Amino acid sequence: MKAITDVTVMVLDRDSFTTLLGPLRDLIDYNMNIKVLKSMKLFEKLTDKERDKVSKSFSVEHFAVGTKIINQKDKGSKFYILKSGTVKIVKDGNHVAELSEGAYFGEMALLSDEVRVATVIAVTECDCFTLDRDTFSKIMGTYSLTYSLTHLLTHLLTYLLTYSLTHSLIQVTLST
């Protein structure tokens, strides 16, 4: 090929490219974190400053194909967001769902001491952003406590309504 006019060509060596690409990857990861956090009910009430703190607190973990990321009935202490890859969700030995890039799981580990309700297995190579409960609690403080109490009250109300309906049905059956 021949240039029709004078052309200035800029060349970037491999080391310079790698140096520049590092910050670009960080920016892409940060923007993905913020986008995912904004889409999640768990984080919807956060201010931009709080969301920024949470995003900067994520670590990245890599999982090979077939790795059990979460085991059903284990105590949880981490929350995961799929940066890349696909996982399958298995509950009581039954395949119930698949999740891919941008999906998240394990969020209840940030809010309670409940055991894991399902097993999560890497179907492909996976990279996950992770956040542990201690870091989340330090960043979020009272928000975490408020959300936990709301979650607890919701479960209690559901139980009471179920009990009340069951009890009423028994009374109706006995009086008929």
- The CATH number of the domain where 52 resides is what? 2.60.120.10
Residues 136 and 149 placed together within one structural domain of the fold? no
In this structure, are 111 and 153 located in the same domain? no
Is the domain of 135 the same as that of 159?
no
* pLDDT over 70 percentage in the chain: 77
**pLDDT reported for residue 90:** 95
- Which pairs with CB-CB distance under 8 Å and at least 24 residues apart come from 10-17? none
- 128 with 63, same domain? yes
Q: Is residue 3 part of a domain?
A: no
- Do 93 and 176 lie in one domain? The reply is no
| Residues in the chain, pLDDT under 50 | 145, 169-176
**Which residues span the domain enclosing 147?**
141-176
Please count the structural domains in the chain.
Answer: 2
What is the CB-side half-sphere exposure of residue 154 using CA atoms within 13 A? Answer: 6
Q: Is 129 inside any structural domain?
A: yes
117 and 51 in a common domain? yes
Q: How far apart are CA 50 and CA 38, in angstroms?
A: 11
pTM of the model: 0.64
CA distance 91 to 170: 32
For residue 62, what are its two tokens?
A: 């890599």
